[in-house]
Amino acid sequence: MQAKRMNPLRRFFAIRGMGSAMIAFAALIVIYVVFGLREPNVFSPVNIQNLLRSMSKYLIIGIGQSYLLITGNIDLSLGSVVGMSAMISATLMTHGTNPLLAALIALLACLVIGLINGLLVGKAQLPPFIATLGTMFTARGIGYMINGNRNTDAIASGIGKEAGDAFQNFFYYGRTLGVFNTFLVAVVVFIIFFFLLSKTRTGRHIYAIGSNVDAAKLSGVSVFATTTKAYMVSAFCAFVVGLILCAQAGMGNMEAGNMYEMYAVASGVIGGISPLGGTGLLLGTFAGAAVWQTLENGLNMIGAQVGLQRIVIGVIVVFAVLLDVVVRRGTRKRIK
């Protein structure tokens, strides 16, 4: 009575969300090659390096937002938490705090925002759009106030040039084995959360509540705990990106991470993470962040205006979701 086993290739594509992730990768290759043919410098090793570094931020925040999108929620506070992380860690460092301790304190602050999001959405059942809109303003406000409503001085002014350089190199300017550290940080974050999402019980529950919250509840899944974990992941990702921005500038910028919550949605959605919940792979988010940065990079290299870049991103995001909606409608019809 055993059902036939599928061959490996079909099994690979039978993984839910793999189809859209692969479409995003295919789009990535096409976009890259098209730009490369117009502007050979796109293929240059230096450009590839820069591309990998610039996509890293969007990959990390994309991962955080993907966790929420898969649960059927959203985290609008993501970008503000990025800013808060940058401002807290930079302010502490300008006062001479050890970078490690400064980062730890910033992390705790970010996780508190994640926890509050979880309480508001998972426990108080506020609409996630509203709850995280509130924490978005709050976190940005905290970021402003940390250093008295102004950007910080150079972090080197507090912790000294040596430590400042070390911090900046670790997160932005340095390389390991020829690859920018920023990208390596992104890869580590990716691996951790890829594992959490695809291999653990928490990950399974994240998909379950996004797919059918009632079924999950009746199966004994704690919606509150799962939602909160997803918001904590998002806050953690924002924290990491905050450090990267701080390292890049060598100081804390009050507007750091502005709009990043939306960039994060774009990365996820281009990669096939359904904004309606229940499906999507972080592999897709990876492709989505890469597609976006390749586009921006390519358009830059051929000298297109910033305005045009934004329009192209806008069209691609809508197109990706349209694809998702059409595919879903298709499956539903087949079931009937």
Partner 1 sequence: MGDLIVTMEHIDKSFPGVQALKDVHFELRSGEVMALLGENGAGKSTLMKILSGVYTRDSGSMHIFGQEQGDLTPRQAQALGVAIIHQELNMCRHLSVAENIFLGREQTRLGTLSNREMEQEARRILADLKIDLDPHKVVGELPVSKQQMVEIAKALSTKARVLIMDEPTSSLTSREIDDLFRIIRELKAKGCGIVYISHRLEELKYIVDRVTIMRDGQFVSSMNYADTTMNEIITAMVGREIKEKFPRVESKPGKQVLQVRNLNAGRMVRDVSFDLREGEIVGIAGLMGAGRTETTRAIFGADAKQSGEIILDGKPVVIHGVADAIRAGIVLAPEDRKKDGLCTKLSIRQNIALPNLDMLCNRFGVVHRTKETAMCDTAVDNLMIKTPSVDKDVATLSGGNQQKVVVAKWMARNSRVVMFDEPTRGIDVAAKVEIYHLMNRLKQQGMAVLFVSSEMPEIMGIADRIIVMCDGRITGELPAAQATQEKILTLATRFETKVAAAANQ
Interface residues with partner 1 (CB under 8 A) are 1-6, 11, 14, 16, 199-201, 203-205, 207-208, 210-212, 214-221, 278-279, 331, 334-336
Q: Judged by CB, which is closer to partner 1: 277, or 288?
A: 277
CA dist., res. 93 & res. 264, Å (int): 28
CB of 23 to partner 1, least distance (A): 18
Q: Judged by CB, which is closer to partner 1: 72, or 164?
A: 72
CA dist., res. 72 & res. 70, Å (int): 5
CB of 206 to partner 1, least distance (A): 11
CB of 215 to partner 1, least distance (A): 4
CA-closest candidate to residue 51, choices 262, 320, 316, 289: 289
Q: Judged by CB, which is closer to partner 1: 199, or 310?
A: 199
Q: Judged by CB, which is closer to partner 1: 95, or 204?
A: 204
CB of 332 to partner 1, least distance (A): 8
CA dist., res. 188 & res. 200, Å (int): 17
Q: Judged by CB, which is closer to partner 1: 314, or 330?
A: 330
Q: Judged by CB, which is closer to partner 1: 215, or 315?
A: 215
CB of 19 to partner 1, least distance (A): 12
CA-closest candidate to residue 252, choices 94, 102, 95: 94
CA-closest candidate to residue 228, choices 71, 87, 22, 23: 71
Q: Judged by CB, which is closer to partner 1: 84, or 269?
A: 269
CB of 221 to partner 1, least distance (A): 5
CB of 212 to partner 1, least distance (A): 5
CA dist., res. 248 & res. 259, Å (int): 18
Q: Judged by CB, which is closer to partner 1: 161, or 217?
A: 217
Q: Judged by CB, which is closer to partner 1: 61, or 283?
A: 283
Instruction: Mention every residue, 6+ apart, whose C-beta is less than 8 A from residue 217.
Output: 223
CB 223 within 8 A of CB 213: yes
CB of 200 to partner 1, least distance (A): 6
Give phi and psi for 179, each to the nearest 5. Answer: -110, 140
CA 54, distance to chain mean position in Å, is: 13
CB of 197 to partner 1, least distance (A): 11
List beta partners, residue 179: 176
